[in-house]
Amino acid sequence: MGQRKFAVTPGFGVGGTVFSPKQLAAIGSIAEKIIDVEMTGFKQLYVTAEEERLAEVQEELQAAGLQIHPAGFVTKSLIACQFCRGAEDAGLEVARALDLATTGIEVPSPLRIGYAGCALGTSEPLLKDIAVVKMKDSYDLYVGGEPKGIKAGLATLLLTGLQAEQLIPAVTRLVAQFREHGKRKESYRRFVQRFTLDKLREAAEDAAGRVPGKQGGPKAAG
């Protein structure tokens, strides 16, 4: 039988991405059933197991409240802040809905989506491929951050003033554009440069129901 690698995360809440003692104990309890555990920069653990024991291992981890996601060339679980302003002010429920809508989608290269509940940006969102920053009662959307290499750079502002109901359609459209038009192993930053900000902005505005070039609420019905 072969080996399979998958991602494990406790999810996130007020306080950030935190493993409980019960969850750590569950990971320790499967030590003899797995091959290795790898720490990643995605706030995930990668667990490698024999295929014949994969279902058993995953069931034990899920029973402890851990989330299981695919590894490899997929959108990673949302890399979120600690929600230091509280669940409501920092938009915790919106962040969880965004995580649910985007995690695990197959893409040309691993895609990191960052979320910050305020302008302090403690989760370093502008170093992520796609970034969401909550600004009081609306959300700003950035693309193209790159933390690695000598050409590292911050993400570029794409849209401002998105409402909660506009945010997820806009982000999922950006993921879909990368999935459809990105090249195999192409970084998201290079994709943004090749595909152009204007095309991505137009696609995101359309998904959000906004008039192109106009910041604010949804476009009026005709």
Query: Residue 32: which CATH number?
Result: 3.30.70
Q: What is the pLDDT along the chain (222 residues), one digit of tens a residue?
A: 689 999 999 999 999 999 999 999 999 999 899 999 999 999 999 999 999 999 999 999 999 999 999 999 999 999 999 999 999 999 999 999 999 999 999 999 999 999 999 999 999 999 999 999 999 999 999 999 999 989 899 999 999 999 999 999 999 999 999 999 999 999 999 999 999 999 999 999 999 998 666 555 455 443
Q: Which helix (H) or strand (E) holds 5?
A: strand 3-9
The answer as to whether 220 is a domain residue is no
The strands making up 67-70's β-sheet, listed across from edge to edge, are 36-39, 45-50, 3-9, 67-70
d(CA 99, CA 42): 13
Residues 94, 187 within the same domain: yes
Residues 20, 91 within the same domain: no
The answer as to whether 155 is a domain residue is yes
Residues 66, 92 within the same domain: no
- Single pTM value for the model: 0.91
Could you give the C-alpha distances from 199 to 9, 142, 174, 203, 205, in angstroms and in order?
33, 14, 10, 6, 10
Q: Which domain holds residue 150?
A: 79-208
Residues 15, 85 within the same domain: no
Confidence (pLDDT) at 218:
53
Confidence (pLDDT) at 151:
86
Confidence (pLDDT) at 219:
52
Is the Cβ–Cβ distance between 124 and 81 less than 8 Å?
Answer: no
d(CA 189, CA 155): 8
d(CA 186, CA 216): 32
Residues 165, 59 within the same domain: no
Tokens matching residue 66: 């851990």
Q: Which of these three, 14, 45, 70, is where a domain ends?
A: 70
